[in-house]
Amino acid sequence: MMDILLEPLQYAFIQRALLTAVFIGITGAVMGSFLLVKRWSLLGDAISHAVLPGVALAYLWGMPYFIGAMATALLTSVGISFVEQHSRIKSDAAMGIMFISAFALGLAIISRAAGQVDLFHIMFGNILGVSPSDLWVAAVTGLLVLLVVVLLYKELLLWAFDPVAAEVMGFPVRGLHYAMMLLLSVTIVASLQAVGIVLVVAMLITPAATAFLLVRRFGPMMVVASVLGVTAAVIGLYLSYYWNLASGATMVLVSTAMFFLALLLSPQEGLLWQTLSRRRRALRVAGEDYLKVLHDLSAAGTEPVPMALLAERMGEPESLVRRRIQYLQRQGFVAPAVAADGTPAVALTGEGTMRARFIIRSHRLWERYLAEKGGMPWHAVHAEAHALEHLTEPPELDRMEEVLGYPRHDPHGAPIPTREGSLPDDPSVPLTEAEPRTPLTVVRVEDEDPAVLRRLADLGIVPGRRLEVKSGDGDRVLVLVTGAEHTLEPYLAAEIFVRPAGSGNRS
């Protein structure tokens, strides 16, 4: 390993290339971080392409390419700002116009001097051909850029994230704008010998974008981007030496590979983490839905539920139900049991009962909140509450309960468990089992079918309403509601739960 690392360093041109790569990696990453948060990535592309005519003229006239490139870079930067500030043209269009025009001019100059200008090295760079003077240029410009960034860090940071606030605070926003243009131009021109016009933007943006996926704060983001930029430049240089590849292109490819690794494996933004997180969230949500159904089927968590009944209620094959139950068993929420008929069953543990009641509490408080504060009709709140119940933490539920005035029932009359997990007894019975010609009070109605809820609302059958069963058989139930008779289908009557009028109270 040491031989692999040390062998290239015996050559002076490799040493110069390595030092240049370090300077470019750091300076480009720092400036790229500002470009990324400012959404100026296209500006870097514009300036890098716009230096072509200056580089071509410098080669033709025997001048240092740095002078020609710097001149056209600054002219392009000023031109973009001028067009943007003195016309209705937006910044992206101004950048496109200026860099395409400058790039076309450079190509026209090169076409008139065919054979005199090495277009490949201008476009793609040659870090292995860095001269001592090029190294000094990269070092001095890099240090100057970093020094300016350090001295103006707070001003540049506020300008990048909130230019309006910077202007209100008295910062010279226009001056900072042109200062950043100048720093960007210097950084790009100093990088041309290494990676060329085409690839310089990748060395500016890719390390910063990779760091953006890995960290949250801007300061650490610049540090991580600098480390990534240097690492990509050094690894790319070694690979180009041993594999005989174009050095600038190899550096960019290494940086791009790092970006895709971060995109895949980042602990916060990575696709793999997001996939696993979505899978864990889906398992948790499905498990909590199972807990609610088990609580409903097991008489508030006190009796085992046959697996076949659970599968029928969930509408899922028993194989999937068994996997869900195994997941809940690992969480300590359920335990295997035997039903009264000897078939396999599952029972809620104490912890599982508390978790089920927390989800039920969350669901019913959300239904109440959406109905009272959100103005949603009672037939529409169930689906919304089902989506929100899994996302709400206990402190948020406590605040919601306080805002609602500590309600005891949801809009459909179902009791809301307390924060301690207690749930009052429910003495209600389905309307199909109620005694005929007995004054009754509607306690609650099932809330899962919006069509049923709309029908009940049209009939005036809501929690707290008095009614009386006039007659009933297997085909229909005749009820008297506020002096009007209505015929209910048995399935509809089974969704209504009642108790004798005058018993209990609601809120």
DSSP string, 344-362: EEEEE-HHHHHHHHHHHHH
User: What CATH number is attached to the domain comprising 403?
Assistant: 1.10.10.10
In a domain, 123, yes or no: yes
Looking at the structure, do residues 263 and 277 belong to the same domain, yes or no? Answer: no
Tell which of 384, 401, 425 closes a domain.
425
DSSP E strands in 305-417: the ranges are 305-306, 334-338, 344-348
In a domain, 505, yes or no: no
Looking at the structure, do residues 372 and 410 belong to the same domain, yes or no? Answer: yes
Identify how many contiguous H helices and E strands the chain contains and give both numbers: 21, 9
Start-to-end CA distance of the chain, whole Å, equals: 76
Pairing of strands 344-348, 429-430: unpaired
In angstroms, the CA 173 to CA 162 distance is: 10
Looking at the structure, do residues 411 and 454 belong to the same domain, yes or no? Answer: no
Angstrom CA distances, 93 to 39, 46, 99, stand at 14, 11, 10
User: What CATH number is attached to the domain comprising 485?
Assistant: 2.30.30.90
Note the pLDDT tens digit of each residue in 237-249.
Answer: 889 888 888 887 8
Tell which of 294, 323, 348 closes a domain.
348
Buried b (16+ CB within 10 A) or exposed e, 263-300: eeebeeebeeeeeeeeeeeeeebbbbbbbbbbbebbeb
Place of tokens 């950043």: 180
User: What CATH number is attached to the domain comprising 65?
Assistant: 1.10.3470.10
Element (H, E) at 466: strand 466-472
pLDDT at 357 over 90: yes
Give which of 398, 425, 423 is closest to 406, Cα–Cα.
398
Domains held by the chain: number: 4
Enumerate the β-bridge partners of residue 347: 335
Looking at the structure, do residues 316 and 388 belong to the same domain, yes or no? Answer: no
Looking at the structure, do residues 146 and 192 belong to the same domain, yes or no? Answer: yes
Helix (H, G, I), strand (E, B) or coil at 489: coil
Per-residue pLDDT band for 83 (boundaries 50, 70, 90) equals: confident
In a domain, 506, yes or no: no
In a domain, 186, yes or no: yes
In angstroms, the CA 145 to CA 27 distance is: 7
Angstrom CA distances, 418 to 83, 250, 393, 407, 462, stand at 64, 63, 14, 10, 23
Looking at the structure, do residues 231 and 277 belong to the same domain, yes or no? Answer: no
pLDDT value, residue 193: 64
pLDDT value, residue 328: 94
Note the pLDDT tens digit of each residue in 320-340.
Answer: 999 999 999 999 999 999 888
Q: Which domain holds residue 307?
A: 272-348
**Are 340 and 376 spatial neighbours (Cβ–Cβ below 8 Å)?**
no
In a domain, 357, yes or no: no
Tell which of 325, 348, 371 closes a domain.
348
Looking at the structure, do residues 17 and 158 belong to the same domain, yes or no? Answer: yes
How many CB atoms within 10 Å of residue 149?
A: 20
Mean pLDDT of 380-404: 93
Looking at the structure, do residues 29 and 141 belong to the same domain, yes or no? Answer: yes
- The encoded tokens of residue 271 equal 């696709």
In angstroms, the CA 75 to CA 193 distance is: 20
Looking at the structure, do residues 61 and 182 belong to the same domain, yes or no? Answer: yes
In angstroms, the CA 507 to CA 151 distance is: 64
In angstroms, the CA 26 to CA 176 distance is: 21
Which of 101-105, 190-194, 388-392, 489-493 is most confident?
A: 388-392
Looking at the structure, do residues 107 and 191 belong to the same domain, yes or no? Answer: yes
Mean pLDDT of 401-416: 93
In a domain, 356, yes or no: no
Looking at the structure, do residues 109 and 251 belong to the same domain, yes or no? Answer: yes
pLDDT at 80 over 90: no
Round the average pLDDT of the chain to a whole number and report it.
Answer: 86
Looking at the structure, do residues 241 and 373 belong to the same domain, yes or no? Answer: no
